[in-house]
Chain A
Amino acid sequence: MPLKMHENETMTPRERVEAALAIKEPDRVPFTPAFHCAQARLTGMTIEEFFFNIPKSFEAVKRVWEMFGGFDIYSGCSPILGYYAPIPNSHSQVYFDWTLPKGNIPEQMHEREIMKREDYDLVIQNGFDSFKRRPELQNDFGKIFGEFSNLDTATWLKEMDVMNLSEAFIEPPVDMISFLRSFNKFLIDVVEIPEKVIEACEATEEELLKTLDLQFQAFRRKDITQMCLFGFSRIATNFISPKKFELFWPHIKRITEYIIKNDFIVQFHIDNDYTDVLEYFTEFPKGKIMFHLDLTDIFKAKEILGDRACLMGNVPPQITGRGSPKQVEDYCKKQIEGCMEGGGYMLGSSCVLPDEIPAANLKAMKDCVMKYGFYRR
């Protein structure tokens, strides 16, 4: 039976999200929080247990779903899979040094200069292969992937008519290069040798797009709307100037067009602040892109992109994790009222909800949608 969260609803969660993605007004604003491991604390588990015990993490997700009466989107259970991914991305231990969760301390990257400045030519010639530090972990990927396949997620979601937050994932080469070089060194390179950085990004684009092909082949379904998460964090305009951002734009644009061409909606999961460069994204067609914003001003995004892209996010963890339920309600109410008109808006979180979010604050977010998020008919 499709999930119903309020008596005045006339749509299922999937229909509601699909309407928002198509920049139409659904029955109400979808509530689409992205979780990391918050379900652990909400159900009395440690982050470590939630992370490593996949079946238990799925049980915890279902329990939280019951506690809160469900949500409009499913963002997964344990995030462990990404850390064993055989494809170049910043979360993969195959390439990067991560400490995985211990007790209630979440996983954290030890960022250091893995790639030297003189290695740009190596990347240009051979791609990212030379930087695989723990290739043996790729074997574990298959085992962990199998554990996820054993979960009956698809049936559960189908019954409720709830869609996945994303079904494919890509990080642009520029982020991969940035993490390999380390934050400071990368930014110095952008100032001192921008042409070399761009050349390396362009040279590795195909390698990254190939990882998308595999995912598209495995997960594409013709009958439903699907999103591909396109995540980046290092070319934000709180780090580099809009002029420097422009250098990377052709690179970002090509990857975006590739995802659109493959019938996935591009979900720009863009961490940090991109408010000053939102105009660039007006190039893409209506309903083919959506934004999961972190520090980018969602009201400004509504002004610039509201006619073509669905928006969510920009609800900071300092509010959801540390604020009072009243503060959460005030923040979300203001955002809902400022962004819901005309559709193309969902209430979510900046990046992911903080793991320590109190139950009362998560409830306050949902209550806020039910109180202020219905469209007038």
Chain B
Amino acid sequence: MNKELVNAMADLDRTKVLEIVREDIEKGTDPLKIIDGLSKGVEIVGEFFEKKEYFLAELITGGDIFENAFQKLKPILEKRDLVLKSKGKVVIGTVQGDVHDIGKNIVKTILTASGFSVEDLGVDVKPEKFIEAVKQPEIKILALSALLTIAIDSVKDIIRLLDRENLRSKVRIIIGGSAFTKEIADKLGVDAFGKDPREAVKLCQKFI
């Protein structure tokens, strides 16, 4: 693993990260190895966040640099028909009645940078749409986001539909966003509440 790349990523040095990625591409380095280095750097960013050395701003910046670098590698992966090994597939969306997407998008970026593949259903998503997505065999986690407390009722509707379709035991449900608290998560009967994007990643790692 390219330590210089890992460190540049952990230091949030965008210019250096992109420079190293460009050099590695020119040298013909295996793109999957480059992605490993980037992911390791993102992991360190997450650790700094947990230690309160980094804040949400740095966590988002880390995810953005990863995305930036990944876009440079994507055409090579596609050209060589290389498939990124996914840690698991997560369905994410902002529940019906709520159009806020900031929290959802942050979690999506950080999950992707941490090796998960994420299917984003968008905002103001009807319960039926979540149910359809969960029917895909590889889906193990459903991540629901909301800012408005009125959207809590939409989560209840999703759970009710999952129960009706006998799908509840198939997926772990995690919720996040200002509308929720740990107590509300317990009351709703979801599997976990993620207070920040880093916790969302850890929960997904635990549940996969």
Query: Chain A: residues with CB nearer than 8 A to chain B?
Result: 99, 104-106, 108-111, 182-184, 187-188, 190-192, 237-241, 244, 316-318, 321-322, 354-356
B131 close to A (CB within 8 Å): no
CB A20 to nearest CB in B, in angstroms, measures: 28
User: Nearest 3 pairs between A and B by C-beta?
Assistant: A187-B57, A191-B61, A183-B102
Could you write out 8 A-B pairs with CB less than 8 Å apart?
A: A99-B99, A108-B99, A108-B148, A109-B100, A184-B109, A191-B57, A238-B55, A241-B54
For the complex, what is the distance from the CA of A241 to the CA of B101, rounded to whole Å?
Answer: 23
Given A108-B99, A239-B56, A239-B57, CB of A184 within 8 Å of CB of B149? no
Chain B residue with Cβ nearest A108: B99
- Is A322 in contact with B64, judged by CB distance below 8 angstroms? no
- Is B105 in contact with A184, judged by CB distance below 8 angstroms? yes
- Is B12 in contact with A184, judged by CB distance below 8 angstroms? no
- Is B149 in contact with A108, judged by CB distance below 8 angstroms? no
Query: Chain B: residues with CB nearer than 8 A to chain A?
Result: 12, 14, 54-58, 60-61, 64, 97-102, 105-106, 109, 148-150, 152, 179-181, 183-184
- Is A192 in contact with B56, judged by CB distance below 8 angstroms? no
Of the residues A105, A106, A109, A187, contact of B61 by C-beta under 8 Å: A187
- Is A322 in contact with B55, judged by CB distance below 8 angstroms? no
Chain B residue with Cβ nearest A183: B102
- Is B148 in contact with A106, judged by CB distance below 8 angstroms? yes
Chain A residue with Cβ nearest B12: A191
- Is A317 in contact with B149, judged by CB distance below 8 angstroms? yes
For the complex, what is the distance from the CA of A237 to the CA of B57, rounded to whole Å?
Answer: 10
CB A194 to nearest CB in B, in angstroms, measures: 10
- Is A237 in contact with B150, judged by CB distance below 8 angstroms? no
Taking CB atoms, residues of chain A closer than 8 Å to B61 are 187-188, 191-192
For the complex, what is the distance from the CA of A29 to the CA of B149, rounded to whole Å?
Answer: 28
- Is A322 in contact with B60, judged by CB distance below 8 angstroms? no
Chain A residue with Cβ nearest B54: A241
For the complex, what is the distance from the CA of A111 to the CA of B106, rounded to whole Å?
Answer: 14
- Is A105 in contact with B14, judged by CB distance below 8 angstroms? no
CB A330 to nearest CB in B, in angstroms, measures: 13
Taking CB atoms, residues of chain B closer than 8 Å to A183 are 102
CB B152 to nearest CB in A, in angstroms, measures: 7
Chain A residue with Cβ nearest B62: A191
Most chain B beta carbons < 10 A, residue from A106, A111, A317, A322: A322
For the complex, what is the distance from the CA of A241 to the CA of B53, rounded to whole Å?
Answer: 8
For the complex, what is the distance from the CA of A183 to the CA of B179, rounded to whole Å?
Answer: 18
Given A318-B183, A322-B184, CB of A241 within 8 Å of CB of B150? no
